């Protein structure tokens, strides 16, 4: 497939206000404006307006939509909601053939004009306001590392009397004997996908196109590579950003990865565990707190961390089971979080050690000192994942929760007697949701998350995700038990 204009053009500075957005629309010949927002469960939604319908007044007065059609939002008798357009997010869509400007919107109650308490982006903004109110810091930087799979074919269906799925990839080790007219080999072995060059890495070009499109959208790509698993696993890392911006950027990453894959006749997924017997897909998340331009995580304690950073780690470990309801928010998430697949299931911290759930990366500058939380995945709303980690960490700082001693051994090889005192992440989404129901006060500080939001989130996860899977027989059960 040929792509024109492969050289990255100079992009205009991001608008700072509504006037500059309108000027951008006129200057770039924009035909449509696409408003986007994220629901409670991480789906990016959009509604499109002809460019002539968007004016400075649109930013001032807001635009209306039906909130009852979004999962777990408004009842039909109180359905009207308002888009509050954020001019600083205005970005020309690098994938649209027709010149289209994307603007991310916050959701506002049209009567009270208050930020909507179920809008994940508003929740993330409130978390930053809470941080400032504590006096601890004024900025949180997040650097997510999203992984994904690119497949050539995906089939699945469920019914009362059947269920099945099948995924396929030209790279998959299961295709060594397939008739591909001709089959050229070059298949990735199980756990053999980390950094092989083409032709074994058959997705190199596609990832490069994805990276180029991300940069056209204003993201800064730092690295891209094949990941460990067979069958098309990859990773594209983008530069860290302030918490809300980092979450915005992750929504762009998912949008671009999926749409570029489709351009090549393939399909991409951020599902944590689409393949049995090989590594799953995670989203290692780097974090640090700053105040007045200084990194509060740099210090003279273990691995160059400050006492503040250690307390932050302590808060995450204490609340991790509840936090996982947002950082690992699907039933499928816990098919990745199992021992033996480079999965960070043990709740401890360590320098350089990738078997620990919280790692302290080696850095060359105090400004780069940070922690890396390794158990999250990107199957939910990043605004909520980053917020939950931040609020747990702040609780640790406020209550001086020390994380204990670091564990510098390979946790995958530790004998049971040494592992027994190390806590682990939940074993299932049901366990994470139960934990959230019991341990949620740290999330409601400063009104960051409301109890109503948490109740609705828990209800949906139990009724629409946990129970439908819990109650449905699977093909593996027939394999094991049909002849009992």
Given 67, 98, 114, the domain boundary residue is 114
93 and 234 both lie in a single domain: no
- What pLDDT score was predicted for residue 13? 76
Is 145 an annotated catalytic residue?
yes
Indicate the pLDDT class of residue 437, thresholds 50, 70 and 90: very high
Q: How many C-beta atoms lie closer than 10 Å to residue 12's C-beta? A: 12
177 and 87 both lie in a single domain: no
Query: Of 66, 80, 129, 180, which residue is the catalytic one?
Result: 66
- Looking at residue 298, the DSSP 8-state letter turns out to be B
Given 114, 131, 155, the domain boundary residue is 114
Number of domains in the chain: 2
Is residue 470 a known part of a binding site?
no
Is residue 342 a known part of a binding site?
yes
330 and 447 both lie in a single domain: yes
Q: What are phi and psi of 27, to 5 degrees?
A: -65, -40
How many residues appear in the chain? Answer: 484
343 and 249 both lie in a single domain: yes
328 to each of 335, 359, 375, 476, how far by Cα in Å? 11, 18, 8, 24
**pLDDT at position 9 over 70:** no
> What is the token pair recorded at 243?
């918490």
Query: Of 354, 398, 431, 437, which residue is the catalytic one?
Result: 354
In 3D space, the residue among 32, 244, 285, 215 whose CA is nearest the CA of residue 125 turns out to be 244
193 and 229 both lie in a single domain: yes
65 and 147 both lie in a single domain: no
Given 114, 129, 156, the domain boundary residue is 114
Is 354 an annotated catalytic residue?
yes
Is 398 an annotated catalytic residue?
no
Answer yes or no: is 134 within a domain.
Answer: no
Is 405 an annotated catalytic residue?
no
Report yes or no: 341 and 280 within 8 Å, Cβ to Cβ.
yes
**Whether this model's pTM surpasses 0.85:** yes
Answer yes or no: is 3 within a domain.
Answer: no
Q: What is the pLDDT of residues 273-300, one digit of tens each?
A: 999 999 999 999 999 999 999 999 999 9
**pLDDT at position 1 over 60:** no
Q: What is the pLDDT of residues 381-427, one digit of tens each?
A: 999 999 999 999 999 999 999 999 998 887 777 788 878 889 999 99
Answer yes or no: is 129 within a domain.
Answer: no
Q: Which helix (H) or strand (E) holds 12?
A: none
- What pLDDT score was predicted for residue 305? 97
DSSP assignments along 191-230, one per residue: T--SSPPTTT-TTHHHHHHHHHHHHHTT--EEEEEE-SST
Report yes or no: 49 and 33 within 8 Å, Cβ to Cβ.
yes
392 to each of 308, 319, 342, 346, how far by Cα in Å? 13, 6, 24, 17
CA gap 341, 308 in Å, rounded: 31
When pLDDT is averaged across residues 417-439 and rounded to a whole number, the result is 93
Torsion of CA 436, 245, 215, 49, to 10 degrees: 100
- What pLDDT score was predicted for residue 49? 97
107 and 197 both lie in a single domain: no
- Asked whether the bond before 460 is cis by omega within 30 degrees of 0, the reply is no
Is residue 287 a known part of a binding site?
yes
254 and 369 both lie in a single domain: yes
Helix (H, G, I), strand (E, B) or coil at 292: coil
Is 66 an annotated catalytic residue?
yes
Q: Spell out the residues 6+ positions from residue 407 whose beta carbon is closer than 8 angstroms to its own.
A: 346, 348, 349, 350, 353, 356, 422
Query: Of 106, 119, 372, 465, which residue is the catalytic one?
Result: 372
Report yes or no: 442 and 392 within 8 Å, Cβ to Cβ.
yes
Q: What end-to-end distance do the CA atoms of the chain give, in Å?
A: 53
159 and 103 both lie in a single domain: no
Q: What is the pLDDT of residues 207-258, one digit of tens each?
A: 999 999 999 999 999 999 999 999 999 999 999 999 999 999 999 999 999 9
Indicate the pLDDT class of residue 24, thresholds 50, 70 and 90: very high
Domain CATH number, residue 151: 3.30.590.10
Is 119 an annotated catalytic residue?
no
**Residue labelled with tokens 């671009």:** 256
Alpha helices, H only, 329-414: 333-336, 382-398
Answer yes or no: is 23 within a domain.
Answer: yes
Cα Rg of the chain (Å, integer): 23
Is residue 145 a known part of a binding site?
yes
CA gap 118, 457 in Å, rounded: 9
CA gap 39, 449 in Å, rounded: 14
Is residue 280 a known part of a binding site?
yes
Query: Of 93, 235, 278, 395, which residue is the catalytic one?
Result: 235
CA gap 24, 30 in Å, rounded: 8
Answer yes or no: is 126 within a domain.
Answer: no
The proportion of the chain whose per-residue pLDDT surpasses 70, expressed as a percent, equals 97
Answer yes or no: is 436 within a domain.
Answer: yes
Answer yes or no: is 391 within a domain.
Answer: yes
Is 374 an annotated catalytic residue?
yes
Alpha helices, H only, 236-374: 243-263, 307-327, 333-336
472 and 329 both lie in a single domain: yes
472 to each of 154, 159, 229, how far by Cα in Å? 21, 9, 28
Report yes or no: 36 and 107 within 8 Å, Cβ to Cβ.
no
Rounded to 5 degrees, what angle do the CA atoms 427, 284, 139 make?
Answer: 115
Q: How many C-beta atoms lie closer than 10 Å to residue 436's C-beta? A: 23
Domain CATH number, residue 28: 3.10.20.70
Answer yes or no: is 27 within a domain.
Answer: yes
274 and 385 both lie in a single domain: yes
Is residue 249 a known part of a binding site?
no
265 and 408 both lie in a single domain: yes
Query: Of 147, 248, 377, 465, which residue is the catalytic one?
Result: 147
Is residue 205 a known part of a binding site?
no
Tell me which residue range forms the domain holding 35. Answer: 18-114
Is residue 227 a known part of a binding site?
yes
CA gap 329, 471 in Å, rounded: 19
């Amino acid at each position: 497939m040929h792509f024109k204009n492969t050289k990255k053009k100079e992009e205009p500075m991001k608008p700072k206000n509504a006037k500059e957005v309108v000027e951008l629309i006129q200057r770039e010949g924009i035909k449509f404006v696409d408003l986007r927002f994220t629901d409670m469960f991480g789906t990016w939604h959009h509604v499109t307006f002809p460019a002539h319908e968007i004016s400075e007044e649109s930013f001032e007065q807001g635009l209306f939509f039906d909130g009852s059609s979004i999962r777990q939002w408004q009842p039909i008798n109180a359905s009207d909601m308002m888009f509050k357009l954020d001019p600083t997010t205005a970005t020309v869509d690098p994938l649209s053939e027709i010149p289209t400007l994307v603007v991310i919107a916050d959701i506002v109650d049209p009567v009270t004009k208050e930020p909507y308490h179920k809008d994940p982006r508003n929740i993330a903004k409130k978390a930053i306001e809470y941080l400032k109110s504590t006096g601890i810091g004024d900025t949180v930087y997040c650097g997510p590392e999203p992984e994904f799979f690119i497949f050539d074919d995906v089939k699945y269906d469920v019914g009362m009397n059947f269920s099945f799925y099948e995924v396929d990839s030209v790279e998959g080790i299961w295709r060594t004997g397939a008739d591909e007219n001709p089959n050229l080999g070059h298949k990735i072995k199980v756990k053999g996908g980390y950094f092989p060059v083409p032709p074994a890495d058959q997705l190199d070009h596609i990832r490069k196109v994805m990276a180029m499109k991300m940069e056209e959208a204003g993201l800064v790509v730092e690295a891209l590579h094949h990941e460990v698993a067979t069958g098309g696993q990859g990773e594209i890392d983008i530069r860290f950003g302030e918490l809300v911006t980092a979450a915005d950027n992750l929504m762009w990453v998912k949008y671009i990865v999926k749409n570029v894959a489709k351009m090549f006749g393939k399909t991409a997924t951020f599902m944590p565990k689409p393949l049995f017997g090989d590594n799953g897909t995670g989203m290692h998340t780097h974090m640090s707190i700053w105040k007045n331009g200084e990194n509060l995580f740099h210090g003279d304690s273990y691995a160059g961390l400050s006492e503040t950073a250690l307390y932050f780690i302590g808060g995450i470990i204490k609340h991790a089971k509840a936090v996982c309801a947002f950082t690992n928010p699907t039933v499928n998430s816990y098919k990745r979080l199992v021992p033996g697949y480079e999965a960070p299931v043990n709740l401890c911290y360590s320098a350089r050690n990738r078997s620990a759930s919280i790692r302290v990366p080696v850095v060359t500058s105090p400004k780069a000192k940070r922690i890396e939380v390794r158990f999250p995945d990107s199957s939910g709303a990043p605004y909520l994942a980053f917020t939950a980690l931040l609020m747990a960490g702040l609780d640790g700082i406020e209550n001086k929760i020390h994380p204990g001693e670091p564990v510098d051994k390979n946790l995958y090889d530790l004998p049971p007697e040494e592992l027994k005192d190390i806590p682990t992440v939940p074993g299932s989404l049901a366990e994470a949701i139960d934990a959230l129901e019991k341990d949620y006060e740290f999330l409601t500080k400063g009104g960051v998350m409301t109890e109503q939001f948490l109740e609705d989130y828990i209800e949906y996860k139990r009724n629409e995700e946990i129970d439908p899977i819990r109650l449905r027989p699977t093909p593996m059960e027939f394999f094991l038990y049909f002849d009992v």
